[in-house]
Amino acid sequence: LYLIAGLLKPKKGSVIVDGYTASCRYPEMLEELYIVPEEYDLPNMSLSKYAKIHEDFYPRFSEEVLEKCLSDFEMSSDLDFKQLSMGQKKKVYMSFALATGCRILLMDEPTNGLDIPSKALFRKVVAGNMAEDASLFISTHQVHDVEQLLDHIIILDNSQILMNASTEEITAEYTFGIRQTNEMGDDVLYAEPSIQGNNVIARRQEGDSETTINLELLFNAATTGKLK
């Protein structure tokens, strides 16, 4: 994410974003890109002052979207950063990111620091306030928090791309489910024991119904080489 944002420079090759070399951080690129880092410091000021200072950098910034996101997060727009908890600051930061109207949004571990109800709200806020032409890139280890938002999955391990596919392609090729030991057939590619039986990924056969992706299971299968 930080390479895409131009905050880090690649040791080899180059990163091109919308035709621009990311590390050059041209204004034309930055007005279409916003990153929510995992760790950050917000200045000691009110949200209204912060928005007034930064909104002009983003041509499609919308105060209406900002207020709607905060409302969806069950927060007031009349607030001061120094009075907020870590989780509240993250909600404000993500709300501002969505309000920018940027076509490229980058979020690094966005659900870290959020309690369980807030994680559900996060999914609602993102799904309800993303611009139609925007792309959201999420880097996370908390896969259950975001799997309902994804339409494309890239799995990395030691800087190697193990999977790069749309959710439509994945569900067309694999099924996910629970099977008992006596139900384990040759179509099973990967399995993990669970209380209910075995969580499995199987090759989808003709006539099989589409299933919901188990992202954690998919990651484990990919990183152990079971899906090759």
One domain for residues 129 and 193? no
Show Cβ contacts of residue 23 under 8 Å, excluding neighbours closer than 6 positions. 6, 8, 9, 10, 14, 15
Q: Is residue 3 part of a domain?
A: no
One domain for residues 46 and 142? yes
One domain for residues 65 and 38? yes
The pLDDT value recorded for residue 52 is 94
One domain for residues 133 and 174? no
One domain for residues 77 and 109? yes
One domain for residues 144 and 60? yes
CA distance 124 to 196: 30
Q: How many CB atoms lie within 10 A of CB 53?
A: 11
Tens-place pLDDT, residues 97-111 = 999 999 999 999 999
One domain for residues 38 and 116? yes
| Domain end point (choices 118, 149, 180) | 149
Structure tokens at 103: 């076509």
Q: Is residue 23 part of a domain?
A: no
pTM of the model: 0.83
Rg (CA), the chain: 20
156 has pLDDT over 80: yes
Q: Is residue 209 part of a domain?
A: yes
What CATH number is associated with residue 75? 3.40.50.300
CA distance 114 to 104: 23
Tens-place pLDDT, residues 12-38 = 999 999 999 999 999 999 999 999 998
Q: In which band, very low, low, confident or very high, does the pLDDT at 133 lie, cut at 50, 70 and 90?
A: confident
Show Cβ contacts of residue 105 under 8 Å, excluding neighbours closer than 6 positions. 33, 34, 35, 36, 97, 98, 130, 134, 135, 136, 137
Structure tokens at 20: 């621009």
Q: Is residue 51 part of a domain?
A: yes
Domain that holds residue 76: 31-149
Q: Is residue 195 part of a domain?
A: yes
Q: Is residue 114 part of a domain?
A: yes
Number of domains in the chain: 2
| Domain end point (choices 149, 179, 213) | 149
Q: In which band, very low, low, confident or very high, does the pLDDT at 131 lie, cut at 50, 70 and 90?
A: confident
Q: Is residue 5 part of a domain?
A: no
